[in-house]
């Protein structure tokens, strides 16, 4: 948006719900969009997905692919 304004072009409005967020913790997590609770509150029909650590390269490299290893990456 700022680069567009500097270049004298039309800047698109920023949608706060589409800005990526991260939480500095262990294991590392990130999010984009509404939380599950907020989406439900706003009336959205949602689907919740889960991704096993066996498909995560860092988890595989660290040998931490079992479910109970999730909080030890």
54-73 pLDDT, tens digit per residue, is: 777 877 888 877 765 444 44
The domain segmentation of the chain, as residue ranges, is 2-72
3-state secondary structure the chain: CHHHHHCCCCCCCCCHHHCCEEECCCCCEEECCCCHHHHHHCCCCCCCCCCCHHHCHHHHHHCCCCHHHHHHC
Report the C-alpha gap between 43 and 66 in whole angstroms: 35
Nearest of 28, 21, 22, 14 to residue 58 by alpha carbon: 28
The model's pLDDT over 5-58, given as tens digits with 9 standing for 90+, comes to: 888 888 888 887 777 777 777 667 777 788 889 999 999 998 887 777 777 787
Q: What is the pLDDT of residue 41?
A: 96
Q: What is the pLDDT of residue 67?
A: 63
Q: What is the pTM of this model?
A: 0.46
């Amino acid at each position: 948006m700022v680069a567009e304004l500097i270049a004298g072009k039309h800047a698109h409005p920023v949608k706060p719900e589409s800005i990526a967020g991260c939480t500095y913790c262990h294991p590392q997590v990130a999010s984009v969009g509404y939380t599950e609770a907020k989406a439900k509150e706003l009336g959205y029909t949602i689907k919740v997905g889960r991704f096993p650590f066996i498909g995560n390269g860092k988890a595989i490299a660290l040998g931490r692919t079992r479910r109970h290893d999730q909080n030890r990456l």
